[in-house]
């Protein structure tokens, strides 16, 4: 059996490399530990500062129904509120229908424009960025 003899200078280099590797690993671990603890501190201090576009302030809203007064009378509040909502929805539908009856939406010659596009001869037609058609 042969034994491998390492010269003294080679052994010294191996030990030095090992020490350098261990010191780099320890430095990296300690740096990561400090970095993680500083992130937590930043988040904690960030909530007490003024709101910004990165961390806006949203007020807490409670979505609980309003308390009603106890009375012996029969009330029709729920039915009245329902009818009010139905009237609002019907009004919105009428308004949308009135808007869609405009020639801008109903006439196919408008191609989605507010006014009908200008008719040009074929050699003068321009490409329209709005509808993607030459006219």
Residue 68 CA to residue 26 CA, distance in Å, equals 66
pLDDT of residue 85: 95
> Which of the 8 DSSP states describes residue 109?
G
pLDDT of residue 131: 82
What gap in Å lies between CA 124 and CA 135, rounded to an integer? 9
pLDDT at residue 96, as a whole number? 93
The residues spanned by each domain of the chain are 79-124
Q: Tell me the pLDDT tens digit for each residue of 14-24.
A: 888 889 999 99
Q: Is the pTM of this model over 0.85?
A: no
């Amino acid at each position: 059996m042969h034994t491998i003899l390492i010269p003294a200078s080679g052994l010294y280099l191996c030990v030095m490399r090992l020490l350098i590797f261990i010191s780099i690993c320890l430095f990296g671990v300690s740096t990561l530990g400090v970095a993680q603890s500083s992130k937590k501190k930043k988040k904690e201090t960030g909530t007490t500062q003024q709101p910004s576009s990165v961390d806006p302030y949203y007020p807490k809203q409670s979505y609980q129904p309003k308390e009603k007064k106890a009375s012996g009378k029969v009330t029709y509040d729920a039915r009245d509120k329902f009818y009010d909502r139905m009237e609002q929805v019907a009004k919105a539908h009428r308004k949308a229908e009135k808007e869609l009856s405009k020639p801008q939406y109903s006439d196919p010659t408008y191609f989605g424009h507010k006014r009908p596009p200008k008719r040009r001869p074929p050699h003068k037609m321009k490409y329209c960025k709005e509808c993607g058609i030459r006219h």
